């Protein structure tokens, strides 16, 4: 059996969200229809869809993409900044029992995303935006 998680988010403006997620994930959507877009990610395996309309807010704290190195974090930062998306760096930070290098971005609908790598596990939880 192969498992592939699926995440569906409601968005206010589909075109803006397609632009944002194309640059966040580094791939184009595989399907775009009226009020709908689908990204079929291979690494990590994820079926991620955008649905225009409906309630945008919810109980999500934040979303993240874990990569294997600081170099990959910086590559994501460059790709996002080249597309006009503002990023916020949080390098060598202690967060949720780990020391991490990360960047933060916010989708057009206010969903906070981190692209991060874990540098080492630590024994204490620091106060950081990812832990609240």
Confidence (pLDDT) at 132:
47
Confidence (pLDDT) at 89:
94
Q: Which residues neighbour 73 within 8 Å (Cβ) at sequence distance 6 or greater?
A: 67, 101, 102, 103, 115, 116, 117
Confidence (pLDDT) at 4:
83
- On whether the CB atoms of residues 102 and 114 are closer than 8 A, the answer is yes
Name the burial class of residue 130, with classes exposed (0-12), middle (13-18) and buried (19+) by CB atoms within 10 angstroms of its CB: buried
Helix (H, G, I), strand (E, B) or coil at 18: helix
Helix (H, G, I), strand (E, B) or coil at 103: strand
Q: Which of 82, 93, 85 is nearest to 116 (CA)?
A: 93
Quote the CA–CA distance of 35 and 13 in Å, as a whole number. Answer: 9
Quote the CA–CA distance of 45 and 99 in Å, as a whole number. Answer: 25
Q: Which of 100, 75, 103 is nearest to 88 (CA)?
A: 103
Quote the CA–CA distance of 6 and 78 in Å, as a whole number. Answer: 27
Confidence (pLDDT) at 56:
78
Binned average pLDDT, 10 residues per bin, the chain of 132 residues: 80 95 95 94 90 79 87 95 93 88 94 91 64 48
């Amino acid at each position: 059996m192969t498992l592939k998680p699926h995440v569906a988010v409601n968005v206010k403006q589909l075109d803006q969200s397609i632009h944002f997620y194309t640059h966040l994930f580094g791939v184009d959507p595989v399907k775009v229809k009226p009020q709908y877009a689908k990204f079929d990610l291979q690494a990590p395996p994820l079926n991620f869809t955008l649905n225009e309309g409906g309630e945008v807010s919810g109980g999500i704290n934040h979303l993240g993409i874990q990569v294997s190195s600081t170099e990959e974090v910086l590559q994501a930062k460059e790709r996002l900044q080249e597309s006009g998306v503002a990023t916020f760096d949080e390098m060598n930070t202690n967060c949720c029992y780990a020391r991490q290098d990360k960047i933060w971005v916010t989708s057009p609908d206010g969903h906070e995303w981190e692209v991060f790598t874990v540098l080492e596990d630590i024994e204490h939880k620091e106060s950081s935006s990812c832990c609240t």
